[in-house]
Structure 1
Amino acid sequence: MPIRTIFSLLSILPVRGLVALDRRTIGRAMAIAPLVGLTLGVITALTVTILRIFITQPGQPVETLLPAAVGIATLAGLTRGLHLDGLADVADGFGAGQDRALAAMRDSRLGAFGVLALVFAVLVQVGALSLTISEHRGTVSIVVAAMTGRLAATLACVHAPAAHPTGLGALVARTVAPWQAACSGAAVVAVAALAGRFDVDGGDAGGALRAVTAVAVGTVAGWLLRRFLVRYLGGITGDVLGALVEVTATVTLVFMTLNIPPA
């Protein structure tokens, strides 16, 4: 079943029954990857909200940094750090040079470029989420960023070839039909608009427009990164998908900090 397959691949959430890994099932599973993002985003948003309730002191400034750090840690934990690991491996591959990139990415050791990529990604994500929480749109920002990041993985599986004949990239490359990707993208836009309009922290039409625009900006960033990496590496790998998820989610989250349109 595609739902069991995609949750098994992209999260630690328990799934029952057999998980199929044939290309047909994988394609259908990757097409609904944003559903995993929605689920993880909601879980993370609830975690952040509950923490804020317990640490808020009457008459004191609202604490945002700790909830943001816990939120990003929750997202990483719910995915086994899979996407962050992919980002680090891609960064190490880039640091090794084009001729040795794939070999460096398969090396289990973490290099300097990988460490820098992880540090900067996490710092930016925590900082951006902290700012959105202070602007009373942290919940919708988490959900939209998590969905858009997984949408980038869905779109990467439409036309991009595999960079290596084995591994996850070879299994998922070109398995998602264009119409499936279009439906997935439309669903993400619709959910983002609803989340922005009916956000528990005070949704409105401007919030819906901001959320939809964030999806568009994040998706474009993911597309540009995918285009570069396919040219650089010759195709996609599992690490490339992880890097796309993280970078796209980060760009989306950063955009959600902006007051465009004015709040």
Structure 2
Amino acid sequence: MKAALLALQFLTVVSIAPRLEAGAADLRRSLAFFPAVGLLLGGLLAGFDWAARGLWPSPVVGAMEAAWLALLTRGLHMDGLADTADGLASGFDAARSLEVMRDSRSGALGVLAVVLVLLLKATGLAALSAGGAATGFFCLVPCLARWGINVLGALSPYARPGEGLGRAFTGAGAARALPAAGLTALGAAYLLGGAAGLAAFAGVTVLSAAAAAWFRHRLGGVTGDVLGAHAEVTEVVLVLLFCRLSGG
């Protein structure tokens, strides 16, 4: 119960027990519930789409849905996306890139990455809404993106020396949560998306494994920022994939 609550509070704006204390072991256990929390976010996204489709034009609905997701997650992954883009685009070696990523101020490339991701997500969600896409597709976008965090973290060492919040979500400890998280994500993919959902699950798994290899080469591993950035990019990929599959 504590692990599920931690996952909910860490990944969303919901704060049921704000004074809940958690150590690294608790955070690692919470990884098993990441896809389930993503499924909850997806349900809220699908509900918003159902309510908004008949009230505003699809471009407006898409923009509102992208903003809704950012609000529900309090922009956590967007911040990681901006920091990661600044670090990777700096052209420095791994150590210096990680220092750039640690800076809380966003550079031009970080801002550009956030704008492009929001633009692609908003237009893609608008196309899904206008095309009357299945509710399951909306539910699966956040769910499978959080499964991507599970895979990337489990296959990657922590890139920074010493301790850090992201360390709990990487390496062998994170790998122990894969069976439970994978069962949730795979079950949701099949029940809500059928063959398309299974293809999306497989695609996210392969994409995340490839990202783990690349980040190991580029940075020596991943950080919390990288995990958040991966979730945002994966959401965009999934939205575009479901647009293609639904004919949107």
Instruction: Find the counterpart in structure 2 of residue 14 from structure 1.
Output: 15
Tell me the secondary structure at the aligned position of residue 89 of structure 2: helix
1:221 pairs with 193, 207, 221, which one?
A: 207
2:36–2:184 contact (8 Å) kept in structure 1: no
**1:42-87 C-alpha deviation (Å, 9 max, x unpaired):** 11211121122334xxxxxxx3211111111111011111101111
Range that drifts further, 245-254 or 126-135: 126-135
Letter in 2 for 1:251: V
1:75-94 superposed matches below 5 A = 75-94=69-88
In structure 2, distance between residues paired with 1:246 and 1:138: 21
Q: Under a length normalisation based on structure 2, what TM-score does the superposition of the two structures give?
A: 0.90
> What RMSD over aligned residues (CA atoms) do the two structures have, in Å?
2.0
**1:240-263 C-alpha deviation (Å, 9 max, x unpaired):** 110111111111111101137x89
Runs of 5+ unmatched residues, structure 1: 56-62, 197-207
Instruction: Find the counterpart in structure 2 of residue 168 from structure 1.
Output: 165
Q: Give the count of matched residue pairs.
A: 243
Instruction: Find the counterpart in structure 1 of residue 239 from structure 2.
Output: 253
Instruction: Find the counterpart in structure 2 of residue 119 from structure 1.
Output: 115
Runs of 5+ unmatched residues, structure 2: none
Task: Report how far residue 142 of structure 1 moved.
Answer: 2.1
In structure 2, distance between residues paired with 1:237 and 1:19: 23
Letter in 1 for 2:196: R
Letter in 2 for 1:47: F
Letter in 2 for 1:90: T
1:133–1:139 contact (8 Å) kept in structure 2: no
2:154–2:170 contact (8 Å) kept in structure 1: yes
Answering whether residue 186 of structure 2 is matched by residue 189 of structure 1, we say yes
Letter in 2 for 1:91: A
Instruction: Find the counterpart in structure 2 of residue 59 from structure 1.
Output: none
Instruction: Find the counterpart in structure 1 of residue 131 from structure 2.
Output: 135
Task: Report how far residue 138 of structure 1 moved.
Answer: 5.5
Range that drifts further, 11-20 or 151-160: 11-20
Q: Under a length normalisation based on structure 1, what TM-score does the superposition of the two structures give?
A: 0.85
Range that drifts further, 144-153 or 21-30: 21-30
1:74 pairs with 68, 84, 107, which one?
A: 68
Task: Report how far residue 11 of structure 1 moved.
Answer: 0.9
Answering whether residue 141 of structure 2 is matched by residue 145 of structure 1, we say yes
1:6–1:29 contact (8 Å) kept in structure 2: yes
2:49–2:129 contact (8 Å) kept in structure 1: no
In structure 2, distance between residues paired with 1:134 and 1:220: 30
2:142–2:235 contact (8 Å) kept in structure 1: yes
In structure 2, distance between residues paired with 1:151 and 1:81: 18
Tell me the secondary structure at the aligned position of residue 100 of structure 2: helix
* Higher RCO (CA-CA < 8 Å; seq separation 6+): 2
Task: Report how far residue 172 of structure 1 moved.
Answer: 2.4
In structure 1, distance between residues paired with 2:238 and 2:205: 8
2:166–2:223 contact (8 Å) kept in structure 1: yes
Q: Percent identity?
A: 32
Task: Report how far residue 18 of structure 1 moved.
Answer: 4.8
1:221–1:251 contact (8 Å) kept in structure 2: no
